[in-house]
Amino acid sequence: MSKALLICPSQRSGVPELSQTAPLAATPLLGQSLVEYWLSHLALAGVKEVRILADDRPEQISKVAGNGARWGIKVEVTPELRELTAAQAQIKYASEFPATGQNLIAVLDHFPGAQEWPLFTSHADFFVAMMRWLPKAKTMDRVGVRELRPGIWIGLHAQVSPEAQLRAPCWIGQHVYVGARATVGPNAAIEDRSFVESGAEIVNSLIGTDTFVGRLAALQKSFAWGNTLVNWETDSVIQVPDAFLLCGLKRAANAKSSEKFLRRMFDLLFTEPQPEVDALESIKPINGQGGAT
């Protein structure tokens, strides 16, 4: 096998929140995008040329893949008007990928070699696939990730308090902050550049990139991206209105509260946190079982 044709998925109705800020193939999954996992896999398998078909924000796919030099292969990203099936792609690009050839054609809706774990059919399937892939995420060519203890992976420049409880299996990305008395795991992952305040609890849950999790948050069976909270078991979705409980770190707070929020972040990093606002009312679980409390 010397060539591969990869088809980036369009938006999927089962996981609409995942494609809000990036195409599904470029969404961070345990610190890397699906495109990166596949290119690493193909390079190790001896593939020399890869064409990537993308109809959803192809410029973002190009930014991730580049020309393939990072993997020592040739990569070309081709914009499409819509997502093609594998059969349609083979017909359209038959001159490069003849049906009789030994080339790979794959839709990027699962991790490499893990077709039995679909990623984008539902929130529950996404969570299962992520947890199944977690021990495999540290690929042979990947640097900046170490296994702190069996089943506990931590990224470069992550700051984890000695008083935090890390329960395997769990994944903590690069430049992540985890405060004292916070609980992470089992079955939890925190993507790069997120901030988990002292006392927060993250169990059977995933935290997206650049997300702030406040001290009163107790996430169970949930996904959190910025202030969006999803119960992966019931597919319930809420927008958390309180930035001190859950918010995106890249989105500026409104003018009225930005100064207070920045002061709170400074205190978290350099002093013992002290309450700055009245006691927050708990957010009820999405279905009485999961969500933030």
pLDDT of residue 126: 98
189 vs 178: CA distance, rounded Å = 12
**What are the structural domains of the chain?**
3-136 (3.90.550.10), 145-270 (2.160.10)
* Model pTM score: 0.84
pLDDT tens column, 87-105: 999 999 999 888 766 789 9
pLDDT of residue 260: 53
- 2 φ, ψ to 5°? -115, -20
The CA distances from residue 222 to 58, 150, 288, in Å, are 29, 24, 13
pLDDT of residue 251: 55
246 vs 65: CA distance, rounded Å = 31
pLDDT of residue 194: 97
pLDDT of residue 250: 81
Q: In residues, how long is the chain?
A: 293
pLDDT of the chain, 293 residues: tens digit per residue? 689 999 999 999 999 999 988 999 999 999 999 999 999 999 999 999 999 999 999 999 999 999 999 999 999 999 999 999 999 999 999 998 887 667 899 999 999 999 999 999 999 999 999 999 999 999 888 888 999 999 999 999 999 999 999 999 999 999 999 999 999 999 999 999 999 999 999 999 999 999 999 999 999 999 999 999 999 999 999 999 999 999 999 854 443 444 455 455 555 554 544 333 333 333 333 344 445 44
Contacts of 83 (CB under 8 A, 6+ apart): 7, 8, 9, 10, 53, 55, 56
